[in-house]
Structure 1
Amino acid sequence: MKEFIPRGTRFVNLPSRFPIRGDGFLHGARIAYETFGQPNTRRDNVVLILTGLSADAHAASQPNDPSPGWWEAMVGPGKPIDTDRWYVICINSLGSCKGSTGPASIDPGTGDPYRLTFPELAIDDIADAAAHTVRALGVKRLACVIGTSMGGMTALALLTRHPELARTHISISAAVHALPFAIAVRSLQREAIISDPQWNDGRYDETTYPRRGMITARKLGMMTYRSAQEWDTRFGRNRIAEGQRTDQKHFDLQFDVEGYLESHAQRFVHNFDPNSYLYLSRCIDHFDLATSCGTTTEVALAAMQLEKALVIGVKTDILFPLHQQRRIAEGLGGANTDVQFLPLESPQGHDAFLVDIDSFGPPIAKFLSADW
């Protein structure tokens, strides 16, 4: 069990008895966050970023950690999320292994890692923890909440459970619930991990680690994060050079696309806790905005107290297809929210917001630069 905490991470303690929707309370829990830019005197220039499943709070370089962040091209001075104007808070999700309390953290009641004794987690819990963090930092109302992928689900939960907390919202490649295809893929990812003998019912360590299961899970994920169009254009049927192949004889990696998946998974496998992967992927499957709010999706979206919203998706996204983002936009427009729905042509699929900054950057910058 291991946590992977960026060096610039700071922490907010959650209440001593933090309620978990599905299963009791967490004691002595914390949320990891980083900040970028400076708050103004009125503290009304605060933007909150809620992340996808595997991201940490290090969205961009900052004085306490000058290493590039996962959204380096998007966050910073003069960038689309301009830290010369905005004070940006990025939060690591509750249940993660990047500083926030999760299965890899120490249970203060036992002195041992939680492992599978960590309570079953819901997106609502992640949203409540984020809302507490924002208020603990002295922010009464956010200028904007930006949610990407799973973070977009978290943002919707936050906006329904804490409707007074934000003025505007940018929803990126999100959904009001997961579709069967996405649930099926994540089910296979979890099966790959728990089928690895080294997983050992969650009781692994650095020497007995479910490496093969994590590699397979990550490869399955990567196949849904990008699009078939990108695979065709980027790799075609090109083969790995003879001298760069592995030593698996008849069934070694032979195609460039296989090599890409392998190298990406190898980089990921020892930088994320397997149990956290299981918990967070399951809470994505369970999330349903309508069920969470005890009403219909349309009523839940229309009840959000937003001034304006930007909803972005890409046509090549097979994980959270474009029609799911359209539904968010239409639902938000059912109230008095000024909503812009932007379907993009990007070939990179679900992860396009991480790499296709030329497509995502300008509309985000325009939305945030408007005089509200």
Structure 2
Amino acid sequence: MREYIPLATRFIDLPDGFTMRRGGSLRGARIAYEAFGHLNTARDNVILILTGLSPDSHAASHPDDATPGWWEAMLGPGKPIDTDRWYVICVNPLGSCKGSTGPPSVDPNTGESYRLDFPDLSIEDIADAAAYTVRALGFDELACVIGASMGGMSALALLARHPGLARHHINISGAVHSLPFSIAVRSLQREAIRSDPYWNRGRYDEENYPRHGMAAARKLGMMTYRSAREWDVRFGRARLAPELRQQGTAFGPEFQVEGYLECHAQRFLRRFDPNSYLYLSRCIDWFDLGEAHGEPDGDAGAVLARLNLERALVIGVQTDILFPPHQQRQIAEGLHAGGTDVQYLLLDCDEGHDAFLIDIDRFGPPVAKFLWAM
């Protein structure tokens, strides 16, 4: 499978022998990133954005690539993350298929794609690769690290493993570990991909792509990224127009919500590598901040209390079922116990876990206010 790389992507080479937390190492690996805004004279206006599972490094449009980014409404001149003031670096996670080294990348030891020979991936590996990227770019201290969803996990791992790298932190819909419900959902997503005969134990190609497995995985994901309240308001029990139904197909889509899920699934197909999806999904389930740092009974609060931050903003969403609000409250309480000046916000958005991508009217002002006060 080919890699999916945005137009203006830049790269940082990781050191040969980059060690993975669960064993193995990488040679000739790289991290994809994009930069937004301008560095000030003091070089102290740098913000790092760590992404969720599927986004690339192209968070917003800029002079080198006018294509709208995945966080277009949040990042840019005069926007909540204001690039007239901040120099912003967004990295694509290690293990992804959008520029950074991952399962579809060529293994220099064999000359073929890694596929399932890629080493076991952890959130800590993603954090270490991001920290190396920042330092390779010449920055020993960040003004702020922002992480949302999986990126919130990566940010906590980065702060714990690289003390002093950031002064401030914004954690959006993040968590110190996955809950049983979200592990169960991701397990079903992985099963859908692995059960597709075209997955072929990871040895698919462009012509033999596990489209049915990927479509099912994406639909399951969309069901958890949004909320039942949004489905009720947006779709109710409305039916698809007759011309949009799969005529002659037994038990085919009939309701508008089914058409919505199918549309999102089809947009996702071939834009994301199935093996990368499996690796990244599993590393989210494996992550446990307390366990990774040797705390008795996996006490993440003790790790959070040791993070030496000046200020933090932690945001959760009332309707988020994937990373529910008590997980963000746990982060805020742990940071506060260690002396960090923490603001915790619980927003009432219809869009569930994905609200940070959509409801900028609610997310933008607190993020802008926090950054302005730094």
Shorter-normalised TM range: over 0.9
**Hey, what's the Cα distance between the residues in 2 that align with 1:54 and 1:226?**
16
User: Alignment identity in percent?
Assistant: 70
| Runs of at least 4 residues off by over 4 Å | none
Q: Distance in 1 between matches of 2:249 and 2:270?
A: 26
Shift of 1:243: 1.3
* Counterpart position of 1:277: 277
Match of 2:330 among 322, 327, 338: 327
| Residue of structure 1 in register with 2:14 after alignment | 14
Aligned mates of 1:202, 1:59 — CA distance in 2: 29
Match of 2:364 among 357, 361, 365: 361
Superposed counterparts of 1:239-250, under 5 Å = 239-250=239-250
What secondary structure is seen at the aligned counterpart in 2 of 1:197? Answer: coil
1:177 alignment partner AA? H
| Counterpart in the other structure of 1:192 | 192
Q: Give the aligned residue type for 1:181.
A: F
The residue correspondences of 1:147-186 to structure 2 (distance < 5 A) are 147-186=147-186
> For 2:202 and 2:90, how far apart are their aligned partners in 1?
29
How far the C-alpha of 1:245 sits from its partner, in A, is 1.3
Name the CA distance, whole Å, in 2 between partners of 1:243 and 1:297.
Answer: 53
Q: Does 1:265 align with 2:268?
A: no
Displacement of 1:251 in angstroms is 1.4
Secondary structure of the corresponding residue to residue 167 of structure 1: strand
1:335 is displaced (CA, Å) by 1.2
Q: CA deviation at 1:248?
A: 4.8
Question: What are structure 2's unaligned runs of at least 5 residues?
Answer: none
Counterpart AA for 1:339: V
Aligned equivalent of 1:125 = 125
SS at match of 2:107: coil
| 2:351 equivalent among 327, 336, 348 | 348
Summarize the alignment of residues 248-259 of structure 1 with structure 2, pairs less than 5 Å apart.
248-259=248-259
* Whole-angstrom CA distance in 1 between matches of 2:136 and 2:248: 53
Instruction: Return the alpha-carbon distance in structure 2 between the equivalents of residues 230 and 248 of structure 1.
Output: 30
For normalisation by structure 2, the TM-score amounts to 0.98
Aligned length: 371
Q: Within 1, Cα distance between the matches of 2:34 and 2:45?
A: 16
Q: What SS does the aligned partner of 1:32 have? A: strand
* Aligned alpha-carbon RMSD (Å): 0.6
Asked if 1:136 corresponds to 2:131, the answer is: no
Paired residue for 1:237? 237
Equivalent residue, structure 2, for 1:48: 48
User: Which residue identity lines up with residue 354 of structure 2 in the other structure?
Assistant: D
Q: Distance in 2 between matches of 1:84 and 1:308?
A: 22
| 1:72 alignment counterpart | 72
**Which of 308, 312, 317 pairs up with 2:320?**
317
The letter of the residue matching 1:247 is Q
1:340 and 1:141 mapped to 2: Cα distance?
22
SS in 1 for 2:230: helix
Cα distance, 1:250 vs. partner? Answer: 2.8
Name the SS for the 1:170 alignment partner: strand
Counterpart CA distance in 1 for 2:26 and 2:234 is 45
SS at match of 1:257: helix
Task: Tell me the SS of whatever aligns to 1:270.
Answer: coil
Map Cα deviations across residues 25-79 of structure 1 (whole Å, 9 max, x no partner).
Answer: 1100000000000111111000000000000000000111110000000000000
> Partner of 2:116: helix, strand, or coil?
helix
Are residue 339 (structure 1) and residue 346 (structure 2) matched?
no
| Structure 1 match to 2:287 | 287
Matches of 2:93 and 2:207 in 1, distance apart? 27
TM-score of the aligned structures, taking structure 1 as reference length: 0.99
Name the amino acid aligned to 1:354: L
Q: Distance in 2 between matches of 1:88 and 1:102?
A: 24
